[in-house]
C-alpha cells in the first residue's frame, strides 16, 4: 500500500514539474534575444529554424548514483516440502540526465516558441 501511495505521489509530482517548466518557458515568449542572454547567458548551440530565425539550445547535465540493492526470493516447490532461496545483487547505477531547453527566435530577435526535453543514460 505504501509503495502504491509513493508511486502515485511521484507521478503527480512529475506532472507538476513538467507543467511548471512549461509555464516558465512560456514566460520568455515575446522577450528579446538580449533578455535571454541576460537571464541564461549565451546558448550552448545555435541552429537555423528555416524561417530566417534561430533556435538557441541550452544544455544541462544532472548526475546521480542510485545505490545497489539486494533482493532475496523464496519459492516453494510443487510438493510444498522444498524451499528454494535465490539472492540477486544489483550494483550501484550511475544515472545521467541530459536536459535540452530550446528557444525559437524570429528574424527580429523576438522569442516566439520554446521546447523542453531530456534523455536519461544509465551506466
Query: Within 27-111, where are the H helices?
Result: 33-40
pTM beyond cutoff 0.75: no
Answer whether 84's CB lies under 8 Å from 75's CB.
Answer: yes
Q: With bands split at pLDDT 50, 70 and 90, how would you rate the model's confidence at 79?
A: low
| 48: three-class secondary structure by DSSP | strand
Residue 105 cell numbers, joined: 527566435
Residue 32: which residues within 8 A CB-CB, separation 6 or more? 109, 110, 111
27-73, pLDDT tens digit by residue? 999 999 999 999 989 999 999 999 999 999 999 888 888 777 776 66
Length in residues, the chain = 123
Amino acid at each position: 500500500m505504501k509503495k502504491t501511495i509513493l508511486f502515485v505521489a511521484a507521478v503527480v509530482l512529475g506532472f507538476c514539474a513538467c507543467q511548471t517548466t512549461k509555464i516558465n518557458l512560456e514566460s520568455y515568449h515575446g522577450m528579446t534575444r538580449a533578455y535571454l542572454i541576460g537571464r541564461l547567458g549565451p546558448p550552448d548551440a545555435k541552429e537555423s529554424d528555416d524561417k530566417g530565425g534561430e533556435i538557441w539550445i541550452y544544455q544541462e547535465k544532472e548526475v546521480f548514483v542510485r545505490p545497489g540493492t539486494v533482493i532475496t526470493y523464496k519459492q516453494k516447490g510443487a510438493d510444498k516440502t522444498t524451499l528454494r532461496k535465490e539472492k540477486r545483487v544489483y550494483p550501484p547505477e550511475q544515472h545521467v540526465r541530459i536536459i535540452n531547453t530550446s528557444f525559437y527566435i524570429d528574424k527580429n530577435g523576438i522569442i516566439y516558441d520554446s521546447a523542453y526535453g531530456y534523455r536519461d543514460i544509465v551506466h
